[in-house]
Amino acid sequence: MDTKTQVLSTVEAMTSAFHRGDIDEIMRTYEPGAVVVGEPGLPVHGDGPVRSMFAGFVAAKAHFTFAGHEVIAAGDIALHLTPWKMTGVAPDGSPIAGTGLSVAVLRRQRDGRWLMVIDDPFGDTMLQRATASTAWDQVDR
């Protein structure tokens, strides 16, 4: 199995577990000590905080779809990029939705599995902010 297929297998396992609400299985797709961004600019690390963050998404019945995948690998490190859409239900029962660009770094383990080390589903936040403001006029040269 090639690297792209192996990396996508990890992402698919996480997504499938997410849709089933299986937080233990979600956590098995991450290295211990992984960092996950649950809100733009707010990385979370540590087993308890990451589980709690995922529990909030599971409670919202978040469902993700992806618009293609790109995998770039260098040795035992891989970068996974995918645009996503999410639908779910807010605590008051109203529908919620979101979109973004997921940027994830995975590392091949000694047993050959690929696990996520950094997962930022809001990888396009800086671009959105720059596009919406005059930040391009203030770019360092």
Which residues span the domain enclosing 121?
A: 3-132
pLDDT digits (tens, 9 = 90+) for 36-79: 999 998 999 999 999 999 999 999 999 999 999 999 999 999 99
How much of the chain exceeds pLDDT 90, in percent?
81
Question: Angle 112-122-105 (CA atoms, 0-180°, nearest 5)?
Answer: 20
Q: Is residue 137 part of a domain?
A: no
Q: Is residue 12 part of a domain?
A: yes
Q: Is residue 116 part of a domain?
A: yes
Q: Is residue 69 part of a domain?
A: yes
Q: What pLDDT score was predicted for residue 137?
A: 62
Count of structural domains, the chain: 1
| CATH code, 63 | 3.10.450.50
Residues 119-129 have a mean pLDDT of: 84
Contact 11, 82 (CB under 8 A): yes
Q: Is the pLDDT of residue 100 over 60?
A: yes
Q: Is residue 73 part of a domain?
A: yes
Q: What pLDDT score was predicted for residue 135?
A: 56
d(CA 93, CA 103): 29
